[in-house]
Amino acid sequence: MSAVMLCARGALALDPVLVPAWSGPIPDPSKPLAGLKQVPGFEATRVYKATPALGTYNHAAMILLHDDQLLVTWKNGVRDEDSPGQRVMYSQSTDGVTWTPSDGSNIMFPNMSTAANPAHLFAGPPIELNGRVYASASPKQFCLFPDQYQNQLLLRRVYTNTTMLLGSPFWAASTIPAGFEEASKLRGVVTSNMMDSQTIADVALLTANATDPPCAASLQKDHSNKCEACRGACQDWDATLWLNLANERTHYVTPQGVDVMLYRSRERLLFASTRQGGAAGDWSKIVKSGIPDIDSNINAGTLPDGRTFLVSNAVPGAKIRDPLTIATSKDGTTFGDAAVAISCTELKPGGSSSDPCLPAYAGGAKEPGPSYPQAAVIQGWPGAKDGLYFVVTNNKEDVWVVRLPLANF
């Protein structure tokens, strides 16, 4: 399954700090595919092709497998990144190859912006509550789910016995968030207490362990609602890290049961924090790892054979976010055997008509290339091949789902 994003409170730790490392050579951006081999047998399917009519900015996609159905959601905007009017779109598949149409009928959460309250939505991780699937979104960017932003969380039931059957969107709160009264009325978005009794019971699960506050305005670097702009709201970060550490993170558990959190940073290395003893343990101080990165989002998880996988843009000197790489670790600590998960050079032209590594539309892609992966391990799915499936956006324009055969990396 895809990595779970958890909120970590800083605390003094008595256990030794486990520092993830990189055992192979650092990928070289001067070489084709950064000097790495492509995972053989990969399959790439375009879920959404950017168009001016529907929105040329598409990014930060999420993926979930439930009841033999894949659900992908992503934020969708007219052109510029995270601008007013941004909404959330979706697509579904029962085989990982054929996807429901992205023709404008696939709006998961509508535009919640008004003249009085300009706003944009971020796609959040789809979640399972009492065995039912809910898509999520928020006007504030997700990094920690679901405790943060409970008062500005949008949910919508996704029925999994068929495709393109959805419930009504609603706020996961008993009152409409301030400023969204007009948009909610216009778009028919209600509060959770107006839903059926089963939905009310499901939503109640979200607040059972809510212990962490949202980012305080004083801790935001630019007073935006972006979660990676928040410094220190959930962890007692060392002040020297604040300028370089982003709150976009991924979480996994080593075969020895140690929790590991990896953080995106601007230092071309991932940062790491670890916790022993499960939820009762304390997180260690955040330190630099030895894992290279190009300052992009990351995703980690566990493969069926027990290895840890890390999908990221691990080419620190690259001019663009290419290629997207996959590295594995037997012990959850030392990552080696890095390979290319996908490169913009291998995707069908979806950016420039002649070069998929170039954006097709101006304004949206400040960091071109395939990035922001979210993965799901699939085995024994009727009608679909086994593999590591991940959703990714190319040039922040097109949405792709890629399958890597489990035996090939």
The answer to which of 147-151, 172-176, 257-261, 363-367 has the lowest mean pLDDT is 147-151
Percent of the chain whose predicted confidence (pLDDT) is above 70: 81
393: amino acid identity, one letter: T
Q: Is there a contact between 394 and 347 (Cβ–Cβ < 8 Å)?
A: yes
Report whether pLDDT(6) > 70: no
Task: Determine the average pLDDT of the residues in 165-186.
Answer: 96
| 362 pLDDT tier (thresholds 50, 70, 90) | low
Predicted local confidence at residue 360, as pLDDT = 86
Report whether pLDDT(3) > 60: no
Residue 217 sits at φ, ψ, to 5 deg, of -60, -35
Domain presence at residue 1: no
| 206 pLDDT tier (thresholds 50, 70, 90) | confident
Unique residue bearing structure tokens 């978005």 = 189
Q: In whole numbers, what is the pLDDT of the chain averaged over residues?
A: 84
Tally of domains within the chain? 1
Interval 214-272: pLDDT, tens:
444 444 444 344 545 444 444 445 656 666 777 688 889 999 999 898 989 889 999 99
| 355 pLDDT tier (thresholds 50, 70, 90) | confident
Domain presence at residue 96: yes
Strand 370-378 relative to strand 387-394, pairing: antiparallel
Domain presence at residue 15: no
Residue 259 sits at φ, ψ, to 5 deg, of -75, 135
Interval 66-80: pLDDT, tens:
988 999 999 999 888
225 vs 50, 82, 215, CA distance in Å? 25, 10, 9
CA distance 379 to 328: 18
Task: Determine the average pLDDT of the residues in 124-136.
Answer: 91
Predicted local confidence at residue 57, as pLDDT = 93
Domain presence at residue 144: yes
User: Which CATH number is 176's domain given?
Assistant: 2.120.10
The answer to which of 159-163, 253-257, 278-282, 336-340 has the lowest mean pLDDT is 278-282
What 3-state DSSP class applies to 346?
helix
| 276 pLDDT tier (thresholds 50, 70, 90) | confident
Predicted local confidence at residue 207, as pLDDT = 62
Q: Is there a contact between 227 and 143 (Cβ–Cβ < 8 Å)?
A: yes
| 192 pLDDT tier (thresholds 50, 70, 90) | very high
Task: Determine the average pLDDT of the residues in 38-47.
Answer: 96
- Quickly list DSSP for 70-84: EEEEEEEESSSTT-T
Predicted local confidence at residue 279, as pLDDT = 63
Domain presence at residue 13: no
Domain presence at residue 14: no
Percent of the chain whose predicted confidence (pLDDT) is above 90: 62
Q: Is there a contact between 165 and 197 (Cβ–Cβ < 8 Å)?
A: no
| 208 pLDDT tier (thresholds 50, 70, 90) | low
Instruction: Find the domain containing 386 and state its range.
Output: 21-405
Domain presence at residue 12: no
Which pTM was predicted?
Answer: 0.89
The most confident of the ranges 43-57, 148-162, 236-250, 259-273 is 43-57
Predicted local confidence at residue 238, as pLDDT = 60
Report whether pLDDT(211) > 90: no
Query: Greater confidence, 321 or 365?
Result: 321
Task: Determine the average pLDDT of the residues in 69-93.
Answer: 94
Cis peptide before 29 (omega within 30 of 0): no
Report whether pLDDT(59) > 60: yes
Sheet holding 170-171, edge to edge: 122-129, 132-138, 154-158, 170-171, 190-191
Report whether pLDDT(367) > 80: yes
Task: Determine the average pLDDT of the residues in 305-315.
Answer: 97
Domain presence at residue 3: no
Task: Determine the average pLDDT of the residues in 89-94.
Answer: 97
